[in-house]
Amino acid sequence: MNKLRTYPRSLFWKLYYACLVVSLILDFFWLYTHVFHYHFAFQYLPQFFALLGLFGCMLLILIAKGMGVIIVVDEDYYEKKIGRSN
């Protein structure tokens, strides 16, 4: 129990790719057999949630990195800027 182990990498990747493929197939299958009940029309687009996940995630990182140009500063920013008074 107390043995030192590293994390199960290969198992994770096998599982992950399996899920990825299965989710892509299931989406097409269930969409065309009318299993889904959504509220908005755009949710019925094929692979909508896959695209939202992938591009939403990447867009999020990109926009944040853009914001970071202005708001990311050195660790001791406030100490330098206002010194002990703060």
Partner 1 sequence: MNSWVHPGLVICIGGFLIPFIPWRRVKQAYFIALPLAGLAIMVSTSMGLFGAIPPWPAALHKWNIPFLHYTLDIVRINKLSILFGYVYVIAAFCMNIYALRAKNDWEHVAAMIYVGSALGAVFAGDLFTLFFCLEIMSWAPFFILLFRGTKKASRAAIRYILWHHFSGVCILAGILIHVHQTGSIEFAHMPWGWGGNYLGSNLMLLGFVVNAATVPFHSWLADTYSEASPGGSIYMTAFTTKTAVFCLITTFAGVPLLLWMGVISAMFAVFMAVLENDGRRLLSYHIISQVGYMVAGVGIGTEMAINGAVAHAFCHIIYKALLYMGVGCVLLIVGTTKFDRLGGLYKYMPLSFWMTMIGAFSISGFPLFSGFVSKTMTIEASELAHLPIVYLLLEGASIGTFLHTGLKLPWNVWLQGMDEPPAEIRAKLNDSAFNTPVHMLIAMGILSLLCLFLGLYPSVLYELLPYPVEFVPYTVTRVFSITQLFIFSFLGFWLLRKWLRGHPTYVLDTDWLVRITGGLFIKFCKVPLIAFGSYLDKQIVTITDTFIVNIRNPSIEARLTPMAIGFGVLVSLLLLSVFLFFKM
Amino acid type, 5: R
32 binds partner 1 (CB under 8 A): no
C-alpha distances (whole Å) from 16 to each of 10, 11, 21, 58, 75 are: 10, 8, 9, 19, 37
71 binds partner 1 (CB under 8 A): yes
How far is it, in rounded angstroms, from Cα 84 to Cα 70? 24
Q: How far is the CB of 11 from partner 1 (least distance, A)?
A: 14
How far is it, in rounded angstroms, from Cα 15 to Cα 11? 6
39 binds partner 1 (CB under 8 A): yes
CB 55 within 8 A of CB 49: no
80 binds partner 1 (CB under 8 A): no
Choose, by CB under 8 A, the member of 14, 25, 28, 36 that binds partner 1: 36
- Judged by the rule CB under 8 A, the positions of this chain that interact with partner 1 are 1-7, 16, 19-20, 23, 26-27, 30, 35-40, 42-43, 47, 49-58, 60-61, 63-65, 67-68, 70-78, 81-83, 85-86
